[in-house]
Amino acid sequence: MSVMKKTTIFLLFILFSLPLFSYSQILKNRWRSMRGELNIGLGASNFLGELGGANQVGTHFFKDFEFSQTKPAFSIGYRYKLSRTIAINPHFTYARVSGDDKLTEEFFRNYRNLSFTSPIYELNANLEFAFIKEQIGHRYRLRKVKGMRGFEIMGYGFIGAGVFHFNPKTKMTEKGEWINLYDLSTEGQGLVDSRKRYSRTQFCIPFGVGFKYSINRRWGIGIEYGVRQTFTDYIDDVSRTYYDKNILLTQVGYESYVLSDRSNGVYPTISSPGSQRGDPRYTDTYMFGLLTINYKIRTGRTSYPLF
Quick one: pLDDT at residue 148? 47
187 assigned to some structural domain: yes
Q: Are 247 and 292 in contact (CB under 8 A)?
A: no
- Report which secondary-structure segment, H or E, holds 13: helix 3-29
- Report which secondary-structure segment, H or E, holds 154: strand 153-166
Quick one: pLDDT at residue 30? 63
Quick one: pLDDT at residue 187? 95
93 assigned to some structural domain: yes
53 assigned to some structural domain: yes
d(CA 25, CA 16): 15
62 assigned to some structural domain: yes
Q: What is the pLDDT of residues 104-141, one digit of tens each?
A: 888 998 999 999 999 999 999 999 999 988 765 554 45
pTM: 0.82
- How many domains would you assign to the chain? 1
25 assigned to some structural domain: no
| Positions of the chain with pLDDT under 70 | 1-31, 54-63, 135-151, 300-307
Quick one: pLDDT at residue 65? 79
| Residues facing residue 262 across a β-bridge | none
Quick one: pLDDT at residue 147? 47
Quick one: pLDDT at residue 59? 57
Quick one: pLDDT at residue 92? 97
The domain in which residue 110 lies consists of 35-297
What is the CATH classification number for the domain harbouring 117? 2.40.160.20
Please report, as a single letter, which amino acid is at residue 81: K
8 assigned to some structural domain: no
307 assigned to some structural domain: no
Long-range CB pairs of 257-260 (<8 Å, 24+ gap) are 258/172, 259/170, 259/172, 259/179, 259/181, 259/184, 259/186, 260/184, 260/186, 260/187
Q: Nearest-CA neighbor of 127 among 164, 93, 72, 77?
A: 77
Quick one: pLDDT at residue 189? 94
6 assigned to some structural domain: no
Q: Nearest-CA neighbor of 118 among 57, 189, 69?
A: 69
